[in-house]
Structure 1
């Protein structure tokens, strides 16, 4: 299961400390203008070493396309690409070769496959998500032609969270702070908290909110292919994600009379007065903004001593070394956007195929 999507499909390959990360994108419509600067900027938003609150691993993350693009446009054939790894410190993981890191995939990979790449987690490393950002960038370029926009931002770090609905913030300011939060004052609090946690060798989690505007009515299937289920599947495939909710989600302390989205005629078109449904009703998009939240756990790799066992079950202590994120939220924002873009484009193409 290294392939995501139905019609617009990404198959990714590579490990954190291998030669590189790459992928094959199949089903991309022909004739999409490929803006290389835009694609590289999407990768830069995810790359390590971009600020003092992210891991200092220094990778250029320069994408090299191998096929499927001619004279600046997609040809409709498979798009192959590679991002070479150039700044691995594999020796940082030598002391963990026979140990199971708490809350990591070490134990489960070992039991499933009988072998694992201990260097940075191998295939389970979040570095794999760079392939998703490449595919997501191409999906965004295709969606631009449909006037569909996707914007994610950090809405909570630890106990510091934004209290207002996304519509009350200027989402054009997200890139103004390294934490990618549209509230400048809250952003400073988040940065202070991340630095405090980082100084202790610990990590912290949070929440990313994503907003999709311009989605056509009718995307999604009524039973097993619900659009929100597809978005949930996409988000829960991201490393460190522990929860997904859309619309009002778990805010259930309301009566139906308070949260039903009433319809009305707006200049000759059907509209809703509110959007508690989060743009999806009966598993199908209704044309309103789709908004959802994704919960990320604290990064499992902490620079503190922990208790574990080795592969033989012997008691042991472990302390990670190397370069790691104290909070994954800032670098996860473009990943959330990428997975949302791939899902919406895939379901648009599915709808066209019907």
Structure 2
């Protein structure tokens, strides 16, 4: 079973021969654990398959309403469409969805739609239906894997793979000739991402919204958590009876056993009130836990030496800390294998 953050901290103290705080407080070690996870991830990242939304809906405005798009014919708008892009195919104009009124009406950032005019819906920050939005996870991504291939459609019995390119910091484009089909709404890419080791004492909570949340939602209110603390960016979790693993996209403060989290990707299916949410206590493999403990011990030694060696009456002592810190870090990095890239046979 994976070790918790608290257990990793104890492993670090064992290497420092300091069972209780003397030279290093828990907070100081936690700071180095956070840095250590980033450094270790750069050498041995977590490989995650993420399903991204493909947005290819089209339609025509059925009536004119200032700063709104009304389509009573298709009535296919969702509350999760806020932030997506509307392209007027008649006038060649653009706007962003800023509010949701009903399945047949959304509010726009500009007054661009009149009755009878056609439109396309695109993902946030995107300009065509082949583009995928990755803005919510961009800061967690280290590499794109699997020979830079995107799987689309993922519903096929025999997977189909395509090249993709990064067209902006927050968007990728599938390199295919035909426009995506509206019935195939997901594409999948393997990403190399930072590991997660949340500093929590309780790893379960529950949905805290009487109406529940729709498929595609990217935030949820939770209760039943530990009394206080922080759910850190990058913390992974699952929802009972919902497919997929989700990643918290911003630190969330826990107060009185409750918090509201933002996450990505959007929920694969709807959830109901009180549905159980379980946070992943660690994404590190057992050997990486040992590597991390060595590396963090090295960071602690190096940092205390750097802070105190100049002008200290104990300069020789802290010079030794600097040397020991370097040895711990070198030992840790030497244990890391080359980056393992998942391999699949991709059609050319």
TM-score relative to the length of structure 2: 0.25
Relative contact order (alpha carbons < 8 A, sep ≥ 6): 1 or 2 greater? 1
Q: Which of the pair is proportionally richer in strand?
A: 2
Q: Which is higher, the Rg of structure 1 or of structure 2?
A: 2
Q: Which of the pair is proportionally richer in helix?
A: 1
TM-score relative to the length of structure 1: 0.25
